[in-house]
Amino acid sequence: MSFPLLTATAALPAIGAIATAAVPAARRTAAKWLALLVSLATLALAVIVLVRFDPDGDRYQLTESHSWIKDFGVRYELGVDGIAVALIALTALLIPFVILAGWHDADPLETHSSRWRPTQGFFALILAVEAMVIISFEATDVFLFYIFFEAMLIPMYFLIGGFGDRAHAGSDEHAAAQRSYAAVKFLLYNLAGGLIMLAAVIGLYVVAGNFSLQEIAEARANGSLDMATNTERWLFLGFFFAFAVKAPLWPLHTWLPNAMGESTAPVAVLITAVVDKVGTFAMLRFCLQLFPEASKWATPAILVLALISIIYGALLAVGQRDIKRLVAYASISHFGFIIMGIFAMTSQGQSGATLYMVNHGISTAALMLVAGFLITRRGSRLIADYGGVQKVAPVLAGTFLIGSLATLSLPGLAPFVSEFLVLIGTFARYPVIGIIATFGIVLAALYTLVLYQRTMTGPVKPEVSAMPDLKVRELVVVAPLIALLIFLGVYPKPLTDIVNPAVKQTMSDVHKKDPKPEVEAAK
């Protein structure tokens, strides 16, 4: 029997979470180092998965399949395509930086009883989320995917509600109430989506007789499983609703600004750069493969919703006074681009959407973590409380600038390639949608540059005059992310080589071909 590499990649952070939580209360530093080492070991396994994956090989590789709940046809089935491999690598890459950035975020502010272990709990929950996200990317059994799609809500709920931002304006009681509200709203929205998806999962089993993604997709392709049109549409809507909440897509987005605003910066990164990607990934893996005709039927409405997300999120980002809420609304706009690329039904659009998932994760992590370092120093999330930071902390300001420029998709940085492909792919089939979506780029330039101008330039405010620059630990967090943004912006080929074959197979699932150019190339 070959080594179960995919299981090991998900199991290692799960075991690490248990071990970290069990560290004695007085050994907080040991718990931090254990969590960091486990995350680095998980990254090493993810790199092995990346190396062993053959983009030109079978669609699903490194597969594992074992009987689980035999009476209901539920199996423990894992497998990865190029899209899943890219997102597993992103997740495993970001978690060590999240842990390093949050090194002191859960340290108790006062002496507690020996049984109170907030630090151990904080890092254990982060590893638990990593484990559940990775296995969600690996699962090819629909029921197995559903379990971890829902289970990841539990550690995220405690991370948002139990370890909130210490720079909250107002009393401790008010801050606790806001954190509780954000955590409950996050949980209720996602549970509602999950319950609707559960009904669709049961419906799929009634129609198909099993939960295997590969078997159902093959049966749909060869005609041995013929769903009634209305049945397929209702099942598609059940799956899509849950994924649109997780992504999030307008008008199901309202939990995100609260959750990111009340979380610590590392947890905010975990939400938008890691957990939310499960929603957009699942649209590609499950909606398009299982329900190709319904996906095409729903495309016009989804593109309109994605377009609203792009413009609406960007407009609200322009008017924000809170740094973290600004990044949250910017992310809503970016998720609109991702979903637009997926449902443009072109190879450029879907390749761009997949690259966008990866590049948005890196750029948002860079910007939000630097913003977190800034907020920790000043003790405020309000933009108006800053000014002239670049004169007293030039390295912090410089990294903040690069993260901001990546957010607006400046050419030469990784998100530009993604956004360009999404717009090209959309314009090829839906030119009006593509043209209107470009206004999102203009608005992105407005909110990112205004944010930088108000916080980093101008006269030095007395409250920031003694602000220290980035420390070694913080540089270790930010520098690799900045380097990746530049590298993938200049040379995205390693990523596109992994992703493009999987995108071609997805296009084949929905029986779509790229539109022919209206003007032929000169011979």
Q: Model-level pTM?
A: 0.90
Query: Is residue 518, in this structure, part of any structural domain at all?
Result: no
Question: 3-state class of 184 per DSSP?
Answer: helix
Q: Phi/psi of residue 399, each to 5°?
A: -70, -35
| Residue 4: other Cβ atoms inside 10 A | 14
Closest CA to 227 of 254, 200, 255, 258: 200
Closest CA to 510 of 266, 333, 389, 343: 343
How far from chain centre, in Å, is Cα 429?
27
Given the DSSP bridges, would you call strands 61-69 and 74-80 parallel, antiparallel or unpaired?
Answer: antiparallel
Domain count, the chain: 1
Q: What is the pLDDT along the chain (523 residues), one digit of tens a residue?
A: 478 999 999 999 999 999 999 888 778 888 899 999 999 999 999 999 999 998 888 888 898 888 888 877 788 999 999 999 999 999 999 999 999 998 887 776 554 444 456 888 889 999 999 999 999 999 999 999 999 999 999 999 989 888 776 555 555 676 777 888 888 898 999 999 999 999 999 998 888 888 888 888 888 777 777 788 898 899 999 999 999 999 889 898 888 898 888 888 899 999 999 998 999 999 998 999 888 889 889 999 999 999 999 999 999 999 888 888 999 999 999 999 999 999 988 888 999 999 999 999 999 999 999 998 988 888 888 888 888 888 888 999 999 999 999 988 889 999 999 999 999 999 988 999 999 999 988 998 899 999 999 988 888 888 888 888 889 999 999 999 999 999 999 999 989 999 999 888 888 877 777 777 666 655 5
Terminal Cα distance for the chain, rounded: 55
Query: Is residue 284, in this structure, part of any structural domain at all?
Result: yes
For residue 392, what are the contacts with CB-CB under 8 A and spacing of at least 6?
460, 464, 465, 466, 467, 469
Cα gap 404→407, rounded to integer Å: 5
What is the extent of the structural domain holding 495? 5-108+117-509
Query: Is residue 251, in this structure, part of any structural domain at all?
Result: yes
